[in-house]
Structure 1
Amino acid sequence: MFDICELHEPGTLEEAKAVLAANPDLKVIAGGTDVLIRLQHGSLAGSGLLSLKNLHGLEEIAMLGDGTISVGAMAPFTTIFRNGLIRERVPILCEAAVSMGGPQVRNVATIGGNICNGAVSADSASTLFALDALLKLETATDERIIPMGDFYAGPGKVNLRPGELLTAILIPREGYEGMGGHYIKYAMRKAMDIATLGVAAVCKVREDRFADLRIGLGVAAPVPIRCFEAEAYAKGKEVTLEVVQEIARLAVKPARARTSWRASKDYREHLIEVLAQRAVAEAVKRGGGCCAD
């Protein structure tokens, strides 16, 4: 038995937004793979819950008229990595989705919940950072669309305003079109483990040069980050092994890795360089380029 004071199960998004507006202290529960564990451990004892499980439509994945791919916040990770549109247009997101937890967890854990947890180890976060994804946030009276980078406020903290719900993740056409991508999760075991480091790279290669490159890191700082200096260095450079190695070295600079029981600071920084090089090289290959020696 969970120690909760009330449970709301609205049947529509409008009803959910109205309930949250009237009760902004409610804890929103989507798949429940994090919230229920926290309840069991007592950290949310006495909380009121707003369940989104009955909000049909928030799990939909679709391409909008301008080419933006909209991923509903209630889409489970299994749905994401099996979705034909995601597999065809944004396969790196499939890689991130299938690396999350195990089959039972992926069947119920949602991408919106993964983001709203604010966990630096969230497998979807570094990939969405690299894709320049946007978040659609709605209240009973308003909505706003913000970049992923504006959402994370610190470890386990996100910039959700009172009464606000994340309803969709938007991946603009320029974030994925013509891009090769690769996500690498480094963990102690292959499944059912939290990432020691996550590296996502997407790139566009034209005439053997980097036309665009974006690198997202998870568990490299208090929040997921982008490697802007490495990305700027790459633009226009010939795709060579030496250039990719320098990109990887520059990817370490924005990191604020720390020592924990999972890995030391020095080891995490070593992983960033090694895995960034591998991720970029594979992204180049998948984008139709070749990393010359």
Structure 2
Amino acid sequence: MFPIDQYHRASSVEHACSLLAEYPGRKLIAGGTDVLIRLREGKSGFSSLIDIHDLDELTWINHTADGTLQIGSGVTFTQLINYLKNDSLLPALVEGSSSIGGPQVRNMATLGGNICNGATSADSAAPLLAFNARITLKSQSGTREVPVEDFYAGPGKVHLEPDEIVTTFSINQEDHQNTGSHFYKYAMRKAMDIATIGCAAVCRIEENRIQSLRLAYTVAAPVPTRCHVLEEQVNGQPVSGKLIRDIAAMVLEELSPRNSWRASKDFREHIIRTLADRVVTEAIIRAGGQL
């Protein structure tokens, strides 16, 4: 049995926001794959819950008239993978989603939960950053939208007000159409372990030159991080083996991996460079580039 002190079932997003305002400090629970673990471990602050599992307002995926892909925060990773695979969309996000736990976890875990826990190791974070994803948040005072990149406030922390709920993730058509993308997670036990390093790249190629490259990492800094300076430096460059080597040499300039019991800083730096080579190469090839 889980030591739950108080439990409220929200009937809608609006109801959930009002419950959060009425009962400050309550935790939202959707898939429960993170919250219930913390509850079982006796972490403080997790014994009073507001259940938003399977709300219709949060469990949908569609395209708007302008081609924007919108994903409800309550969509499970299994649902997301199946939708994207059917339409051959966003391979990097499919790969990131597929690396989360085992099938049982992906059947329950939600995209919103994976991002809202603030973990720098979240496997969906690097692909979302690389696709310039945005988050819509709702509270009793209204709605606001922020880039996923700006949502992170620090290790295990996000910019989420006490009465706010993440409702939607949005990706503009121009940020994924006619691109090649790839995500790779390095972990000791693959999907069944927390990432040592995760890396996602999204690129667009024209006349075998980099028209745009977006490169993002997890567990390479206190929060999931884009390599903006590197991206600017390689735009317009011809595709070549030398370009890939240069990217791998430059990538650490914007990252700050640390020592931990999972891996040393030196080992993480080696993996970061290796993944820059591997992931960018595959993204270029998928975009039609010739190396």
> Normalised by the shorter chain, which TM-score bucket?
over 0.9
C-alpha contact 1:86 1:94 (8 A) present in aligned 2: no
TM-score of the two chains, using structure 2 as the length reference: 0.97
| 2:7 counterpart letter in structure 1 | L
Q: Distance in 2 between matches of 1:172 and 1:39?
A: 37
Amino acid at match of 1:107: N
Residue type of the partner of 1:284?
I
State the match for 1:42 in structure 2: 42
Gaps of 5+ in 2: none
- Counterpart of 1:285? 285
Helix, strand or coil: the match of 1:89? coil
Alignment of 1:200-211 (within 5 A): 200-211=200-211
Q: State the identity %.
A: 47
Q: Distance in 2 between matches of 1:234 and 1:4?
A: 52
SS at match of 2:124: helix
- How far has the Cα of 1:56 moved from its partner? 1.6
State the partner residue of 1:90.
90
Counterpart of 2:155? Answer: 155
Q: Which residue of 1 aligns with 2:114?
A: 114
Residue segments in structure 1 that go unaligned for 5+ positions in a row: none
Residue 69 of structure 2 is matched in structure 1 by 69
CA distance in 2, matches of 1:146, 1:84: 23
Aligned to 1:130: 130
Query: 1:278, 1:84 → 2: CA distance?
Result: 23
What are the Cα deviations for residues 33-55 of structure 1, in whole angstroms up to 9, with x where unaligned? Answer: 11001000100367310111141
CA contact (8 A) 1:229 1:251 kept: no
Residues 278 and 71 of structure 1: CA distance in aligned 2, closer, same or farther (over 3 Å)? same
2:46 & 2:281 partners in 1: Cα distance?
49
Residues 84 and 220 (structure 1), Cα distance of their counterparts in 2 relative to 1, 3 Å cut? closer
The alignment's TM-score, normalised by the length of structure 1, stands at 0.96
Corresponding residue of 1:52 = 52
1:67–1:172 contact (8 Å) kept in structure 2 = yes
Quick check: 119-128 or 86-95, which moved more?
A: 86-95
Contact 1:81/1:87 (<8 A) preserved: no
Q: 1:194: which partner in 2?
A: 194
Partner secondary structure for residue 112 of structure 2: helix
Deviation at 1:136, TM superposition (A): 0.5
User: Aligned partners of 1:58 and 1:45: how far apart in 2?
Assistant: 24
Q: What's the secondary structure of 2:145's corresponding residue?
A: strand
C-alpha contact 2:135 2:169 (8 A) present in aligned 1 = yes
* Cα 1:97–1:54 shift into 2, 3 Å: closer
1:50-82 CA distances to partner (integer Å, 9 max, x unpaired)? 111141231111111221100110011111111
Distance 1:147 1:186 in 2: 25
Kindly provide the CA deviation profile for residues 138-175 of structure 1, in whole angstroms up to 9, marking residues without a partner as x.
00221000011211111100000120000011111121
Q: CA deviation at 1:86?
A: 7.0
Aligned to 2:15: 15
Structure 1 Cα separation of the partners of residues 128 and 99 of structure 2: 14
Residue 78 of structure 2 is aligned to residue 78 of structure 1: yes
Give the match's secondary structure for 2:5: strand
- Alpha-carbon separation, structure 2, partners of 1:276 and 1:118: 24
The one-letter amino acid of 1:287's match is A
Q: Distance in 1 between matches of 2:47 and 2:118?
A: 19
Say if 1:33 and 1:108, in contact at 8 Å, map to a contact too. yes
Q: 1:178 & 1:36 partners in 2: Cα distance?
A: 40
Tell me the distance in 1 between the aligned counterparts of 2:32 and 2:128: 22
Partner of 2:214: 214
Secondary structure of the residue that 2:192 maps to in structure 1?
coil
Does structure 2 retain, via aligned residues, the 8 Å contact 1:10–1:54? no
Paired with 1:257 and 1:116, the residues of 2 have a C-alpha distance of 22
In structure 2, the partner of 1:99 is 99
Structure 1 segments, 4+ long, off by >4 Å, are: 84-87
